[in-house]
Homo-oligomer: A and B are copies of this chain.
Amino acid sequence: MRNFTFYSPTEFVFGSKTEEQVGKLLKKYGASNVMIHFGGGSIIKSGLLAKVEMSLQAEKIRYILFGGAQPNPRSGLVYQGIEICKNEKIDFILAIGGGSAIDSAKAIACGAKYDGDFWDFFDGSANIIAAIKIGVILTLPASGSEGSHRTVITKEDGMLKRGAGNEFIRPVFSIINPELTFTLPTYQTAAGIVDMMSHILERYLTRTLNVELTDRLCEATLISIIEAGKKVIKDPFDYEARATICWSGTIAHNGILGVGRTEDWATHQLEHELSARYDVTHGAGLAVMFPAYMQYALDVDINRFKRLAITVWGIEDNPKAPKTVALEGIKAMKGFFREIGMPTTFLEIGAQERDIDFLVDKLFQGKDDSFGAFKTLNREDAKAVYRLACE
């Protein structure tokens, strides 16, 4: 086990009707002039926004509305948000939505406390040293951004998708009500499930030995997601299964499932190029890339893939053919992704084999010659993984 710091100070308020507590929570965390940041009209139609506004009004908290967050959130909106925060002297940003609204909010929060271009934080030329406080009402369990200190933004100029983060942009509270996810489109629900599973797999695929406890916690969460995932796709109003999905998505990414080990994150990098290029939902892109990556990285540690296959996917052990068992596990994962309606090939997301050179060029732009902690990937490796994803 490697040395680590585990720090997850966000207050998670979880359960039925918890969004009604938002006014009180904002007050508790000293908010007086709030920007409510969200995506499209769904939270208006559902009545959620009205409920939130009532809760703020009851606590006499001033607020303004700032909508427009979209999947794979863009820099343009962040610049707008920063401008508004500065002009309106906003002291708290409440993000309502999923990873898009939360990640935009995080970028706005640190950009508003910075004199330069916020993109400096994303291209590594500056460090975040202050941010407006952030709170969350989660409506789409997927990104884990409600409990993380990271944000991913796509720069429209060049369509570069990059991440940034530090403690200043971690939400101080996150309200998670599974009921708010009942009306999610099936595709978004499924993409969210793949996203949170990927967050665990990026941590599970490690070369660090002897982290049994973390391994078992990862497996326990993966099994729970798969079991509940099948249920929510069949019955979107299954509260218990929705609750399992919601809480799994949070702990998949608040750090607890990665302690004591070197994490990987290569597949996320491979996927980011797909969602930047084709604007495909991140989780759907991951459903395409993860089976391909795992197939390619199999030989790094067959026993790890075999263990995953047996423990999580229920494949029968065969001590004489570990590779077969491992491959059966990947097949089962691919089958599960298909079962919940996710794509698993380039074709299904509108990606093309002839784009691979372009994708790899973008992937390595401004980066080292290789990346990935589990299996080191250079340009040729990345091409090979993309090619496997075509099949």
Q: Are B224 and A216 in contact (CB under 8 A)?
A: yes
A358 lies within 8 A of chain B by Cβ: no
- Cα of A259 to Cα of B248 in the assembled complex, Å: 12
Chain B CB within 10 A, most for which of A7, A13, A16, A213 = A213
Q: When A4-B15, A7-B12, A217-B220 are in contact, do A228 and B212 touch as well, CB less than 8 Å?
A: yes
Interface pick from A84-92, A123-131, A239-247, A314-322: A239-247
Q: Are B221 and A217 in contact (CB under 8 A)?
A: yes
Q: Are B3 and A12 in contact (CB under 8 A)?
A: no
- Cα of A180 to Cα of B217 in the assembled complex, Å: 25
Q: Are A6 and B12 in contact (CB under 8 A)?
A: yes
- Cα of A9 to Cα of B7 in the assembled complex, Å: 7
- Cα of A323 to Cα of B177 in the assembled complex, Å: 37
Q: Are B9 and A3 in contact (CB under 8 A)?
A: no
A14 lies within 8 A of chain B by Cβ: yes
A310 lies within 8 A of chain B by Cβ: no
**Interface residues on chain A, size class:** 35 or more
Q: When A213-B221, A220-B219, A223-B216 are in contact, do A1 and B251 touch as well, CB less than 8 Å?
A: no
When all copies of this chain in the complex are counted, the total is: 2
- Cα of A224 to Cα of B259 in the assembled complex, Å: 15
On chain B, the residues within 8 Å of A269 by CB distance are none
By beta carbon, the residue of chain B nearest A240 is B210
A5 lies within 8 A of chain B by Cβ: yes
By beta carbon, the residue of chain B nearest A224 is B213
A1 in complex: contacting residue of B12, B15, B260, CB < 8 Å = B15
Q: Are A227 and B212 in contact (CB under 8 A)?
A: yes
Nearest-neighbour CB distance to chain B for A144, whole angstroms, equals 14
Q: Are B5 and A14 in contact (CB under 8 A)?
A: yes
Interface set, chain A 161-216, CB cutoff 8 A to B: 210, 212-213, 216
A11 in complex: contacting residue of B7, B221, B248, CB < 8 Å = B7
On chain B, the residues within 8 Å of A259 by CB distance are 14, 247
By beta carbon, the residue of chain B nearest A241 is B210
The contact sample of 14 A-B pairs, CB cut-off 8 A, is A1-B243, A4-B14, A7-B10, A8-B8, A9-B11, A14-B259, A14-B260, A210-B240, A210-B243, A213-B220, A213-B244, A216-B223, A216-B224, A217-B217
When A and B form their complex, which 9 residue pairs have the shortest distance between CB atoms, in order from nearest?
Answer: A3-B15, A216-B220, A9-B9, A210-B240, A213-B224, A6-B12, A1-B243, A220-B220, A7-B11
Known: A1-B243, A7-B12. 12 other contacts (CB 8 A): A3-B14, A3-B15, A4-B15, A5-B14, A6-B12, A7-B10, A7-B11, A212-B244, A213-B228, A216-B223, A216-B224, A247-B259
